[in-house]
Amino acid sequence: MTGATGFLGRRLAPALAARGWKVRALARAPVSDNDWEGTAPQWVLGDLADGDAMGRLVEGVDLMIHCAGLIKAKNRAAFFAINAEGASHVARAAKASSASGRVILISSLAAREPQLSDYAASKRAGEDAMREILAERLTILRPPAIYGPGDRATLGLFQLAASSPVLPVPAAPAARLALAYVDDVVAEIRAAADASAGGALYAIGGARPGGYGWGEIMSEAAAAVGRDPVRLPLPMGVISAAGALADVAARLSGRAMIFGAGKARELAHPGWSVAEAELAPWALARTATELGAGFARTVSWYRAQAWL
């Protein structure tokens, strides 16, 4: 697998090992096995563009899981270098290997709407590149926004809810966002790993595939940190302007930022719910973690790690 040292990968690799898989993982730098509590993969040092490392990674494997990706980048080219070109490197290595096992790509629900942001476009381009090379060997899973222990991307939401007397709520009443607790996403990937067939594309819907409104998301975040700040509707025009300013700041500073104009368009988009027809067959019989319970577990982990 790739991406084993990331937020999702750090939960996925041990879960696969517990299922009986022998896990081999790519890492850009040496990793301390002490952090893995006896579940460390067999490490291959290198990156996605390192042909020799990728060859060692995929040689003789029954299954390849491509989990690596960027959720923030300095610019469009940086997104595409990892999310699109990196995916192509993985696919070519898998095809060139003597093994003919299945490949699972962990994409994003954002890939449904590539016109919204550079991130979404890069994820869609990665899907297209891998599908062209691997055809029926490829299974694509599109999770929505993932949260849970270890996630830094949603930490800011809980920090805001814990410290501010006012909690902004995007004024996008039509917007519905499917959200998924990280261990539920891990369970979906593990089920896909156990399946025998490839060539499919499935969305992951979380506990409520129809999604949550922004008001409910903010209320659950406040409840998780034990506060009740005033909810302030924030016009989408203000959010869009803030995104444009964030893009300018990113260009001037040279820093990658998760929020920008593209992310603002994603926040306003009404189509982040998941229909039952998009779900994998195994997902229909599984109970996932409700938002309130998932947020509570996440906040408990943050506090135990002194992140919050």
Query: What's the pLDDT at 92?
Result: 95
pLDDT category, 232, cuts 50, 70, 90? very high
pLDDT category, 271, cuts 50, 70, 90? confident
> What is the bridge-based pairing of β-strands 230-234 and 179-181?
unpaired
Q: Which tokens sit at 105?
A: 């790509």
Residue 12's Cβ-side half-sphere holds a number of Cα atoms within 13 Å equal to 30
Nearest of 227, 87, 117, 123 to residue 167 by alpha carbon: 227
Q: Is 229 helix (H, G, I), strand (E, B) or coil?
A: coil
Q: Across-strand partners of 234?
A: 170
pLDDT category, 100, cuts 50, 70, 90? confident
Q: What is the DSSP letter of 138?
A: E
Name the percent of the chain lying above pLDDT 90: 76
In the chain, what are the domain boundaries? 7-304
Residue 91's Cβ-side half-sphere holds a number of Cα atoms within 13 Å equal to 25
Q: What is the pLDDT of residues 236-262, one digit of tens each?
A: 899 899 989 988 988 888 888 888 889
Q: What is the mean pLDDT of the chain?
A: 93
Q: Across-strand partners of 232?
A: 168
> What is the bridge-based pairing of β-strands 102-106 and 138-142?
parallel
**Residue 68 class from Cβ within 10 Å (0-12 exposed, 13-18 middle, 19+ buried)?**
buried
CATH of domain 7-304: 3.40.50.720
Whole-number CA gyration radius for the chain: 19
Query: What's the pLDDT at 268?
Result: 85
Query: What's the pLDDT at 249?
Result: 86
Helix axis angle, 214-224 to 291-304, nearest 10°: 40
Query: pTM for this one?
Result: 0.94
In this structure, what are the phi and psi dihedrals at residue 140, rounded to the nearest 5 degrees?
Answer: -110, 130
